[in-house]
Structure 1
Amino acid sequence: MKRITQSCVALLFATFEALADGNSNFEVLTNLETGPGNVTATANGRIIMSQHQFYQPQYTVVEYKDQTLVPFPNKEMVAADSTAAIKLDSVLGIRSDSNGMVWMLDNGMRSGVVPKLVGWNTKTNKLQRLIYLPAPIAPKDAFVNDFALDLNHNHAFISDPAGGNNAGLIVVNLVTGAARRVLEGHASVIPENIDLIIDNSPIQVKTATGETVRPHIGVNPITEDLNNEWVYFGPMHGLSLYRIKTADLINESLSKTELAARVERYSDKPISDGISIDKDNNIYLGDLANNAIGVITPDRRYQQLAQCPRLSWVDSFSFGSNGQLYAVVNRLHRSAILNGGDDQSKPPYFLLKVKALAEGLPGR
């Protein structure tokens, strides 16, 4: 892998005027031969990535180390109470915490297995937590995708776009392993009737009957502020970002109606995938239709930080140990799955470093 440190505009135009328009707000840290899924960075500087299942990778999780990718974990995962090995199937969501745990959300879709949340302790190099998400917590059409971690309340909050109208959030107690499905079918999680069109081509999925349809995907982006007060989320195919107080989300005594009433619309947003947040509550996201990186500032206004042809489906923002903000480019709209069965997605894919407006929490 070749390390690249120039911004897109510097590479394409090499002019001072181009650099002045904001595209110097990111750099390509390295080229990738396989399409990445999500990225996280540990407090001690390790960079861990899932590899997107749409590209049928050999390893579903890898570590970027010495300018190359190595399988992660680097040893077989065995549950503490069992001699059976735990296999990772289709990890997308991945986060790390301040205790040295890397949490991996395995949707199980490649092999049709039960989704699970897996916690790997990087200090002991052992499997520490395994939480299964069976039906009806994760229904038959579940696509558990991304999540936010909250060690203050010992919970994880998972986004599941599912089939669209049954999209919802999954609230997981990391201590007991108990999980609840909440806000299913609520306006804040179901997709809006809008198409995603990138470079003049619509996202299309080929059905079992050979027809092509334009999918509308429900809740996907999700994050929590650094004070563990608000959880922010919204449908991928949606132009609104919502939030709810963490205390309400973990309050099991609230009825469905009461919980739904606690959701508030926060701001406008573009069609977007993964998001992250910094200490000043700037929310970073990929502006998919415009090949751009954007930010929602604390005044609840959206603006672009950078726009470039290289920013071709920017996904999964995550802060590192020294204030770095990482993201990936995976060109999912050119994959066979989202391009009507025609695979036009080619490497290089990218691991990015984004110039953040403020520092964030490593792993978030």
Structure 2
Amino acid sequence: MPANLRRFLLIAVALILVIGFGGLNQSNARSQTSSSKLEVVTELSQAPGNIALNSENRIFLSLHQFFQPELRVVEAFSNGALLPFPNKAWSQGNDLNRVALDAVLGIQTDANDIVWMLDNGLRDGSIPKLVGWDSQGDRLVNIIYLPSPITPENAFINDLAVDTDKNYIYIADPAGGDNAALIVVNTRTGMARRVLEGHQSVVPEDVELVIDGKPVQRQLPDGSVVKPKVGVNPIALDAAGEWLYFGPMHGTSMYRLRSADLRDASLREEQLAARVERYSDKPICDGIAMDTAGNIYLGDLSENAIGVITSDRTYKLLFRDDKKLPWVDAFSLGNDNYVYTVSNQLHRSAVLNAGENEATPPFYLLRFPPAESAIETR
């Protein structure tokens, strides 16, 4: 047999082996990577909302209001204990002056260990507000109310990104979909502006969320059901505070905008909109976080998975786990070189499951190392 023909046949056989068995080997690698790199910090008896860690790696969780928890925000411990944060009166929302927390989802710590809690006010109909609490000094630092027209009647202020250096906070409000917007808050003056309302970067796309073969559905007061489509929800600043990344939850695109442009109140709405950039593809996702290497972590809701948009704008799947990762809601970066996250089975709550609550504990608080372990490209 001629040498060239023999070489060709050897290459062909090798290619057949790769094509024929590569998917099986890749699947096994994914399973092994998931089990070895994704760690359960603790099992939770109540469904978490969002997560924040301070410089001492203390873990703060909002408890998701869709499950009507008694407490609004808690500090979580590795033994599963959940203690009211910042104290019982605030966390139970029973302050007679309606200053205490009502319904918190978004929560984030800043560089000074201030825990910023975004209260949407939708349980008792209170005015939405930002509450800043010093987790080191155990004291109230700031309350910023966000009344109409900053938050319209259908507002659902959901998540936030904190810019400590510039004294600004950027808020995602999916609202009713068509009027979704970002809110820009100066934490020094308390002044707030609603921007990009109705822009394509914040309103939902016509895409449907299906998890475990079942569409997410809301039951209306008349008993009918609809398949909700949610506007801007994922939101995060890069490490330098230069770019804000965001997008609609029900959307296939991640966008970004320079934070300096968001802070520039002299820009007309059309000028600001013209500066929005489409950054990358993304799946339907909830909260996100960004590390110092430019990786954006997100929950791939339809896949019961965690994914990452790497700095080259490529989306990759990190972990898939039907038991531990049903509805990965939010992320926070720890000082121990781990990324922390929570899963809460939100699609099984009565609110998103046509009126039937099928969520069952445990819920999970997890962590994993940064994204060099990415193993699958979509």
- Tell whether the structures are fold-level matches, with TM greater than 0.5: yes
State the match for 2:43 in structure 1.
31
Letter in 2 for 1:327: T
Q: Structure 2: which amino acid aligns with 1:232?
A: Y
Contact preservation (8 Å) 2:225, 2:354: yes
Counterpart of 1:146?
Answer: 159
Q: Is the aligned partner of 1:45 residue 2:50? A: no
Name stretches of at least 5 consecutive residues in structure 2 with no aligned partner.
1-26, 91-95, 373-378
1:8 is aligned to none
Letter in 2 for 1:245: R
| Residue deviations 1:197-219 (CA, integer Å, cap 9, x gap) | 00000000011211100000000
Does the Cα contact within 8 Å between 1:76 and 1:85 map onto a contact in 2?
A: no
2:192 aligned residue (166, 176, 179): 179
| 2:253 aligned partner, one-letter code | S
Q: Is the 8 A contact 1:24 1:306 kept in 2?
A: no
Q: C-alpha offsets along residues 67-105 of structure 1, whole Å, 9 cap, x if unaligned? A: 21100012656xxxxx95721110000001121211100
Give every structure 1 segment of 4 or more consecutive aligned residues whose post-TM-superposition deviation is greater than 4 Å: 15-19
Counterpart position of 1:3: none
Tell whether the 8 Å contact from 1:39 to 1:49 is kept in structure 2 after alignment: yes
**Change over 3 Å in CA distance of 1:318–1:18 after alignment to 2:** closer
For the pair 1:345 / 2:359, whether they are aligned, the reply is yes
Helix, strand or coil for the counterpart of 1:337?
Answer: helix
Kept in 2: contact 1:116–1:132 (CA 8 A): yes
Question: Counterpart in 2 of 1:242?
Answer: 255
For residues 241-280 of structure 1, the aligned pairs below 5 Å read 241-280=254-293
**8 Å Cα contact 2:98/2:126 also seen in 1:** no
The structure whose residues are more often helix, as a share, is 2
Q: Does 1:314 align with 2:331?
A: no
Give the SS at the match of 1:118: strand
Structure 1 residues 171 and 84: alpha-carbon distance in aligned structure 2, compared to 1, 3 A threshold: same
Q: 2:303 matched to 1:290?
A: yes
Once the two structures are TM-superposed, the CA of residue 356 in structure 1 deviates from its matched residue by 1.3
Measure, in 2, the Cα distance between the counterparts of 1:49 and 1:96.
Answer: 11
1:167 and 2:180 matched: yes
Distance 2:28 2:227 in 1: 40
Residue 329 of structure 1 pairs with residue 343 of structure 2: yes
Structure 1 residues 114-155: Cα deviation after superposition (integer angstroms, max 9, x where no partner): 100000012221111000000110110000000000011110
Unmatched tracts of structure 1, length 5 or more? 1-14, 78-82, 359-364
**1:24, distance to aligned residue in structure 2 (A):** 3.1
- The one-letter code of the counterpart of 1:73 is P
Displacement after TM superposition at 1:162 (Å) = 0.2
Length-normalised TM-score, structure 2: 0.87
CA distance in 1, matches of 2:88, 2:329: 28
CA gap 1:16/1:268 in 2 versus in 1, 3 angstroms: closer
Instruction: Say what the alpha-carbon RMSD is for the aligned residues.
Output: 1.8
Do the aligned partners of residues 228 and 17 (structure 1) sit closer, same or farther apart at CA in structure 2, a change above 3 Å counting?
closer
Q: State the SS of the aligned residue for 1:248.
A: helix
Under a length normalisation based on structure 1, what TM-score does the superposition of the two structures give? 0.90
Q: 1:117 is matched with which residue?
A: 130
Which residue is equivalent to 2:118? 105
Residues 50 and 329 in structure 2, CA contact (< 8 A), matched pair in contact too: yes
Higher-RCO chain (CA-CA 8 Å, sequence separation at least 6)? 1
Rg comparison, structure with higher value:
2
